[in-house]
Amino acid sequence: MSQLRGDYKSVWTALSGTKEEAYMVVSGYTDEDKFLADAEDTLDILRETVGIRASDVFLEIGCGVGRVGRVLSPFVQEWIGCDVSPNMLRIAQRRLLGLPNVRLQEISGYDLQPIADNSVDAVYTTVVFMHLEEWDRYTYVREAMRVLKPGGRFYCDNVDLASAKGWAVFEESRTLFKPQERPAQISKCSTQPELEAFLKHAGYAEVRVAGRLDFWAYAWGVKPR
C-alpha cells in the first residue's frame, strides 16, 4: 500500500536510510561543497529577513542533515535542529560533530512539543513546507509562535505557484505521476498570499512576504511583545 503524505515520520525515515539517500532527498545532490555553498545562500536570506544576532537561540523546523545549522551555528548562541526523521538527525549529528552550541531534537511531525514556550529568539523552516499538508504548515506557524519569546522572529518559505519556475514544478508533477502513484513527499507549492495569511492568522506582527529567483515565496514576521 502506498504511504500517506501525512505520515511524515514513516515517509521521511524511509527516505533517509543512508547519507547519500538523505543528501539526495534534501538537495538533489551529494556534493558537500555545493551543499555548503547553498547553505551560505540560505544564511543570506535569514540575514535579510529575520536577522542573525550573536545572542540568538535559533530553531529550525525540518533541519534534515544540518545543512544550514552547520554554517549558522557559529554566528548564534545556540542552534536547535528539529526533524521528524531519526535517520536525518543521526546523519546531522555526525556532520555537526564538534560544534559546541548545537542541539538536535526529534519531533512528532505535527508540533514542536519538547520545546518550551517563549524560549527561542528565531524560528525558521526552509525547503520543508512543500512536503507538508497546508494544515500542518499552518500548525507549525502557530507552534513557532508558541516557542518564540516576545519579539522573536519567524521565517518560512516554499516554491511559489505564481512564479514561472514554480508553475513548471507544478506541471511536471501533474504530468509525471498518475494520481494513485504520486510519492508521499511530492512537492506542493504555496503562494505569497498563503504564507501571509498563515502568519497573520497566527498573530504575527510586521508580516512581510517576498519572492526570489522566480521560484521561491517566503514570509517572515515578529511575535508581538
Ligand X SMILES: C[S@@+](CC[C@H](N)C(=O)[O-])C[C@H]1O[C@@H](n2cnc3c(N)ncnc32)[C@H](O)[C@@H]1O
- Non-local (6+) Cβ contacts of 203 within 8 A are 145, 223, 224
Q: Is 67 in the site for ligand X (CB under 6 A)?
A: yes
CA distance 78 to 102: 6
Q: Is 69 in the site for ligand X (CB under 6 A)?
A: no
Backbone φ and ψ of 22, nearest 5°: -65, -45
Q: Is 70 in the site for ligand X (CB under 6 A)?
A: no
The site string for ligand X over 7-26 (x = CB under 6 A, - otherwise) reads: -x---x-------------x
- The answer to whether 14 touches 49, Cβ cutoff 8 Å, is no
Quick one: which H or E segment has residue 108?
A: none
CA distance 169 to 173: 6
Q: Is 155 in the site for ligand X (CB under 6 A)?
A: no
Q: Kindly list the distances between the CA atom of residue 103 and the CA atoms of 87, 90, 91, 166, in Å, as whole numbers in the listed order.
A: 15, 12, 13, 33
CA distance 128 to 159: 10
Q: Is 92 in the site for ligand X (CB under 6 A)?
A: no
Beta bridge partners of 124: 60, 155
* Smallest separation, CB 185 to ligand X (Å): 7
* Smallest separation, CB 93 to ligand X (Å): 13
* Smallest separation, CB 176 to ligand X (Å): 18
Residues 115-154, interacting with ligand X (CB under 6 A): 126-128, 131-132, 136
Query: Binding residue for ligand X (CB under 6 A) from 50, 52, 88, 104?
Result: 88
Query: Binding residue for ligand X (CB under 6 A) from 50, 84, 102, 115?
Result: 84
* Smallest separation, CB 25 to ligand X (Å): 6
Residues 26-45, interacting with ligand X (CB under 6 A): 26
Q: For binding to ligand X (CB under 6 A), which residues are involved?
A: 8, 12, 26, 61-64, 67-68, 83-85, 88, 107, 109, 126-128, 131-132, 136
